[in-house]
Amino acid sequence: MLTIEPNGATLGATVRGVDLAKPLSDADFGQILKALGDRAVLRFPDQHLEPIDVYRFSIRFGEIQGPSRVDPNGAIDPLAYVGILSNIKENGEYIGSPDAGQDWHTDMSYRDVRGFVNVLYGIHIPRRNGLALGGTEFGDMAAAYDALPGALKLQLENMTATHDFEKFWEHMRQDRNSGRPAMTPEQRKRRQPVVHKLILTHPISGRKILYCNPGYATRINELSASESDAMLAFLFAHQLEMRFRHTHVWNENDLLVWDHLSTIHRAIDDYGPDEIRLMRRCQVMATKVFDPAFLRPALLAA
Ligand code: SIN
C-alpha cells in the first residue's frame, strides 16, 4: 500500500509502497499527484529502474522535454527523452551535463509552456568519509508567498516577470567557471525571453505561489528598471530564506520528483571531478496539469 510520510520541512515527503518499475495504477498516480501538490518534493527510495521505467513514470505527468535525438527515419526513441546528468567523462567527453542547475533556479520558467516536474533518478552518488555529497536543495515558494507582507501580495498580484534563459547560462559562465561556450545568435533566437505572472495559483493545491527565481527572472515589467531591480533583489533574498528550504540528501536508487511550479532549487556542487555523480533525468512540461480534463479524473482516482 502506498504511504506518504511528510518530512520536517514545509515541503518534502517520502513515498513508499510503490514499485515504479511496474505499471502504475490510476489510484497510485492520483495519490502521487495529490502529494506533489501538498508536499512539492517526493522521494521514492529503493527503486530499481531502467531508463525506460523513468520515461514511463514521467510521461504520466505530461509531455517530456526533448528528445535529444531523432533517428534518421523520423522515429523517436523514448530513451532519447531520458537525459544524463553526470561528471563522468568517456574518451575525454562528458557523458551528460556535468554542471546542470548548480545555482538557484526553476527549470524552464524561461519557456511559454513552463516546466511542471523534474524526475531525477540517482544511480551513483558521490560520497566522502561515508557522507553523501551532491544534494539537491529546494525552496518552498508557496510558503514564501504566504510569508510576504499583505500589502506586497496585493501589489504583486497582477504583475509579471520576464524570464530569460541566457541569464543563468551567462551566470554559470561568468561567475561559476563553467566551460560552457557563449550562446550563439541562433540559440538566442530559439530562446527568446518570456513573460509569466509573478503570482501563480497552483493547479493542484490551489495555493498562491511566488513564481520568480534568481536564475532566470530579469525584470518586473510593470515597474521602472530601478524599481524592478530593487524588488527582484528583495524577492530573491526573501525566497532564499532558510525557513523555506529543504535539502534532499541522495541515496543510490532514490527517485526524486519535484514540482517546478511551487519550488526553486539548486544542485549542490560540493564534490570533486573524481567523485562520481550519475543521475538520469526527465523534464516534464506543464502541458497537462493546467487542464481540468486531465487533472480532475487523475485526482478523483486517488
Ligand atoms: C537540475 O537542476 O535539474 C539538477 C538538479 C540536480 O542535479 O540535483
Low-confidence ranges of the chain (pLDDT < 70): 68-70
Nearest CA to ligand 1 atom 4: 101
161 C-alpha to ligand 1 centroid (Å) = 23
300 C-alpha to ligand 1 centroid (Å) = 31
CATH, domain range 3-301: 3.60.130.10
Ligand 1 neighbourhood includes 101 CB (under 6 angstroms): yes
Site to probe by mutation for ligand 1, drawn from 120, 260, 278 as the one with most ligand atoms within 8 Å of Cβ, is 120
3-state secondary structure of 254: coil
Question: In ligand 1, which atom is closest to the CA atom of 267?
Answer: 8
Ligand 1 neighbourhood includes 84 CB (under 6 angstroms): no
Nearest CA to ligand 1 atom 3: 101
Which pLDDT belongs to residue 101? 92
272 C-alpha to ligand 1 centroid (Å) = 16
Which pLDDT belongs to residue 69? 67
**CA 295/CA 203 separation, integer angstroms:** 8
Ligand 1 neighbourhood includes 86 CB (under 6 angstroms): no
Residue 49 near residue 21 (C-beta atoms within 8 A): yes
Burial 73-91 (b: 16+ CB within 10 A, else e): eeeeebebbbbbbbbeeee
267 C-alpha to ligand 1 centroid (Å) = 5
Which pLDDT belongs to residue 92? 94
Q: Output the nine-digit C-alpha cell for 49.
A: 529502474
* Cα dihedral 42/255/279/143 (nearest 10): 0
146 C-alpha to ligand 1 centroid (Å) = 26
Question: In ligand 1, which atom is closest to the CA atom of 279?
Answer: 7
Measured in degrees and rounded to the nearest 5, phi and psi for residue 197 equal -60, 145
Ligand 1 neighbourhood includes 100 CB (under 6 angstroms): yes
Ligand 1 neighbourhood includes 30 CB (under 6 angstroms): no
247 C-alpha to ligand 1 centroid (Å) = 12
Nearest CA to ligand 1 atom 6: 267
Which pLDDT belongs to residue 74? 73
Question: In ligand 1, which atom is closest to the CA atom of 134?
Answer: 8
Nearest CA to ligand 1 atom 5: 267
Beta strands in 159-275 (DSSP E): 160-163, 194-197, 199-201, 208-210, 217-220, 245-248, 255-259, 263-267
The reply to whether the predicted model has a pTM over 0.85 is yes
Which pLDDT belongs to residue 35? 98
3-state secondary structure of 81: helix
Q: Residue 302 class from Cβ within 10 Å (0-12 exposed, 13-18 middle, 19+ buried)?
A: middle
The domains of the chain are located at 3-301
Question: In ligand 1, which atom is closest to the CA atom of 105?
Answer: 2
